[in-house]
Every structure is written in C-alpha cells, then in structure tokens.
Amino acid sequence: MNAIADKIHVIERLSVDEAATVNLLDKVIASLLENDLGKLEQFRRKLSDFEAQYDMKTHEFQRQFNNGTLGDDADWFEWDAIADMVQRLEEKLAQFGQLHHA
C-alpha cells in the first residue's frame, strides 16, 4: 500500500461510520479543488497583466514565442510558464466539472 492508501485506511478505521468517512473525504476533495480554483484565478490575473502590459493576447504571444520571434526576455518565459500552468489546471479541473471560465 502507498502512503495515501495507508492514511485513508486509518481514517476508515477511526471513523464512526461510512457516512462520516465519506463526508470527511468530500471535505478534503472540496478543499483541494478550492485550492486549485484559487491558483487558477491568480494565474489568470497574471496572464491578464501580461496581456495588458504587452498589448497581446496569450494565445498570440505563445504562437510568436514558440516560433522564436520574441527573443529571450525573462518575461516571455514567465508568461509562457504561467500560460502552461493555466492550461494544466483548466484540464485538471474540467475533469471534475469544476472549471468556470471567467
């Protein structure tokens, strides 16, 4: 068993009943999703800041950046990394029906 399964097994043994265990796990899942939604919101704000600063939408920036036409400015690497994180978080949250586009 791995560490996560071990901890879940401890919760099952300590819990009063199955409903209490499910309720606890639902709270943990909700907390994890809320955390990811908060990160997504923060990253989207950062993307908006870059878009305003450089007067360019993220998809256009990434096209130019990936084609090598923008150079090696540190902002470009940060912007690209944040855009990738947004995409990964959106895909992850969409799997759980938790993605709400701003």
- Is 47 among the domain residues? yes
- Is 30 among the domain residues? yes
**So what's the pLDDT on residue 97?**
83
| pLDDT over 80 (residue 101) | no
| pLDDT over 90 (residue 62) | yes
Q: DSSP of the chain, one letter per residue?
A: --HHHHHHHHHHHHSSSHHHHHHHHHHHHHHHHHHHHHHHHHHHHHHHHHHHHHT--HHHHHHHHHTT-S---HHHHHHHHHHHHHHHHHHHHHHTT-----
- Is 100 among the domain residues? no
Domain housing 13: 3-95
What is the C-alpha separation between 69 and 65, in angstroms, rounded? 6
- Is 102 among the domain residues? no
Number of domains in the chain: 1
- Is 8 among the domain residues? yes
Segment among 24-33, 47-56, 58-67, 72-81 with least mean pLDDT: 24-33
> Is pTM beyond 0.85 here?
no
**So what's the pLDDT on residue 102?**
42
What is the C-alpha separation between 82 and 47, in angstroms, rounded? 7
- Is 54 among the domain residues? yes
